[in-house]
């Protein structure tokens, strides 16, 4: 780490797996790893007050450069005191660079060596995003962790297309490092390479040569199978420095988190807990529960025993009633429950790693999830 107030300490590696127990220190507090970041794309975690987000056990949250630059604009956020004050969160914040959104949301995207040019998904206006511009936006937002602009392409794809994206991502990463000025913000490099092991390793090698303080694995969960994603982690993680945080972007299901943790990943984000919560799907140790199902109409049990979230103060029958009646409280409660579940899951993983029993913890969770309602839509 070469920025003020930042450090990374690897405390313990599980005896039988690659799972790591570590601490990422930031100027706004320590993040106990492995950790999951709720997604607050436009300065809010959908449906929840910031106090409700804190109550889930979240330590760090994510905002997005693309969305905040389009609306309300990074200058407004800066003039209102920065993203922390803007949304009322006093802990660490990571901002994504917008590379994935340019790939997934923008209309008529054109990527050149200099920048990505695209039409806003909001109003169709022409927008340009270069590596330098992505850094400038994130410095104006004032996040603790900023991401370089990377070139994301869909999967499956050809070796030539992905090799070109890897090379451009490295060149853009170098440009990002050159212009980064804030001493109170660290920059993550992002490994690309699709489903080609040799490209993943080469991307990691090139970024490590640039000596980033932290590294992310990007370009996954974009159309490949879980098994393909895990295989890419098997080759990518060993190519990353052991003394830096490792972040898997945009992933995923509870099983995805445990599979990645046992391969040595430290940090995660995903919209899945809140998106599924809004659609009446709850995550539990016994699998997912689709709360519109008739079988819950007269069910007096809580969603999950021993869960401290506000949803679990009510019966399953009541939660179902809220969704069937179209009451906004249903999505709010299930979003809070799912985020709490993810935080309980990573907290359990941290404790299991410390006790050298992560393998047992992983098997216990898997056996609980298997054979249940596992399809998590969205």
Express each pLDDT in 181-199 by its tens digit.
999 999 999 999 999 999 9
In the sheet that 93-96 helps form, which strands lie side by side, from edge to edge? 35-37, 267-269, 246-248, 214-217, 186-191, 145-147, 93-96, 61-64
Q: What is the mean pLDDT of residues 217-226?
A: 91
First CA to last CA across the chain, in angstroms?
36
| pLDDT confidence band for 274 (50 / 70 / 90) | very high
Q: What is the mean pLDDT of residues 250-267?
A: 97
Q: Given this model, what pLDDT does residue 59 score? A: 98
Q: How many residues appear in the chain?
A: 378
Phi-psi region of 354 (alpha: psi -120 to 50; beta: other; left: phi over 0): alpha
Predicted TM-score of the model (pTM): 0.95
221 is written with which tokens?
Answer: 């969960």
Rg (CA), the chain: 20
Q: Given this model, what pLDDT does residue 108 score? A: 77
* Sign of the torsion angle spanned by Cα atoms 355, 341, 240, 93: negative
Tell me the domains of the chain and their CATH numbers.
62-263 (3.20.20.105), 277-369 (no CATH)
* Sign of the torsion angle spanned by Cα atoms 358, 364, 365, 370: positive
* Sign of the torsion angle spanned by Cα atoms 234, 188, 267, 246: positive
306-315 CB contacts, 8 Å cutoff, 24+ apart: 307/337, 307/340, 307/341, 307/344, 308/340, 309/55, 309/56, 309/333, 309/336, 309/337, 309/340, 309/341, 310/52, 310/55, 310/336, 310/337, 311/282, 311/336, 311/337, 312/337
CA distances from 197 to 10, 148, 194, 209, 244 (A): 26, 22, 8, 18, 21
Q: What is the mean pLDDT of residues 292-321?
A: 98
| Of 47, 38, 102, 21, nearest in space to 69 by CA | 102
| Of 55, 51, 86, nearest in space to 71 by CA | 86
Q: Is the pLDDT of residue 373 over 60?
A: no
Q: What residues act catalytically?
A: 96, 269
CA distances from 265 to 38, 118, 170, 181, 206 (A): 17, 32, 21, 28, 19
Which residue in this structure is represented by tokens 């190519």?
Answer: 239
Q: Residues 36-92: pLDDT tens digits?
A: 999 999 999 999 999 999 999 999 999 999 999 999 999 999 999 999 999 999 999
CA distance 323 to 345: 26
Question: In this structure, are residues 150 and 173 in contact, taking their beta carbons and an 8 Å threshold?
Answer: yes
CA distance 151 to 128: 14
| pLDDT confidence band for 265 (50 / 70 / 90) | very high
Q: What is the mean pLDDT of residues 301-323?
A: 98
Q: Is the pLDDT of residue 26 over 50?
A: yes
| pLDDT confidence band for 378 (50 / 70 / 90) | very low
Q: Is the pLDDT of residue 1 over 50?
A: no
CA distance 296 to 323: 12
Q: Residues 125-180: pLDDT tens digits?
A: 888 999 999 999 999 999 999 999 999 888 889 999 999 999 999 999 999 999 99
Question: In this structure, are residues 192 and 150 in contact, taking their beta carbons and an 8 Å threshold?
Answer: yes
Q: What is the mean pLDDT of the chain?
A: 94
Q: Given this model, what pLDDT does residue 126 score? A: 87
Q: Is the pLDDT of residue 5 over 50?
A: yes
Q: Given this model, what pLDDT does residue 371 score? A: 62
Q: Is the pLDDT of residue 107 over 80?
A: no
Q: Given this model, what pLDDT does residue 347 score? A: 98
Those residues whose C-beta lies under 8 Å from the C-beta of residue 68, and which sit 6 or more positions away, are: 42, 43, 74, 77, 83, 95, 137, 141
């Amino acid at each position: 780490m070469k920025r003020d107030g930042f450090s990374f300490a690897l405390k313990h590696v599980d005896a039988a797996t690659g799972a790591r127990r570590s601490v990422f220190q930031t100027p706004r507090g320590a993040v106990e790893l492995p950790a999951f970041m709720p997604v607050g794309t436009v300065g809010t975690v959908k449906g929840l007050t910031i106090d409700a987000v804190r109550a889930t056990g979240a330590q760090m949250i994510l905002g997005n450069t693309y969305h905040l630059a389009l609306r309300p604009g990074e200058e407004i956020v800066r003039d209102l005191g920065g993203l922390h004050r803007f949304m009322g969160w006093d802990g660490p914040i990571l901002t994504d660079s917008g590379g994935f959104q340019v790939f997934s949301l923008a209309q008529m995207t054109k990527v050149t060596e200099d920048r990505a040019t695209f039409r806003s998904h909001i109003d169709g206006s022409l927008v340009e995003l270069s590596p330098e511009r992505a850094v400038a936006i994130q410095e104006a937002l004032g996040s603790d962790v900023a991401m370089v602009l990377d070139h994301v392409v869909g999967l499956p794809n050809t070796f030539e297309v992905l090799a070109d994206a890897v090379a451009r991502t490295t060149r853009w990463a170098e440009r990002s490092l050159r212009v980064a000025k804030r001493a109170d913000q660290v920059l993550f490099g992002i490994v690309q390479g699709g489903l080609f092991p040799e490209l993943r390793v080469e991307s990691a090698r090139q970024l490590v040569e640039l000596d980033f303080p932290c590294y992310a694995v990007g370009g996954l969960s974009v159309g490949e199978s879980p098994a393909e994603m895990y295989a890419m982690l098997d080759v990518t993680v060993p190519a990353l420095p052991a003394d830096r945080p490792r972040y898997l972007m945009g992933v995923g299901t509870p099983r995805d988190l445990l599979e990645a943790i046992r391969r040595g990943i430290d940090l995660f984000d995903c919209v899945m807990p809140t998106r599924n919560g809004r659609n009446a799907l709850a995550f539990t140790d016994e699998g997912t529960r689709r709360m519109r199902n008739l079988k819950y109409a007269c069910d007096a049990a809580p969603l999950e025993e021993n869960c401290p979230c506000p949803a679990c103060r009510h019966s399953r029958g009541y939660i179902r009633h809220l969704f069937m009646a179209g009451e906004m409280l249903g999505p709010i409660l299930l979003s809070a429950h799912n985020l709490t579940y993810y935080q309980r899951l990573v907290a359990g993983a941290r404790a299991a790693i410390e006790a050298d029993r992560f393998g047992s913890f992983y098997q216990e969770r898997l056996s609980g999830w298997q054979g249940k309602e596992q399809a998590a839509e969205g």
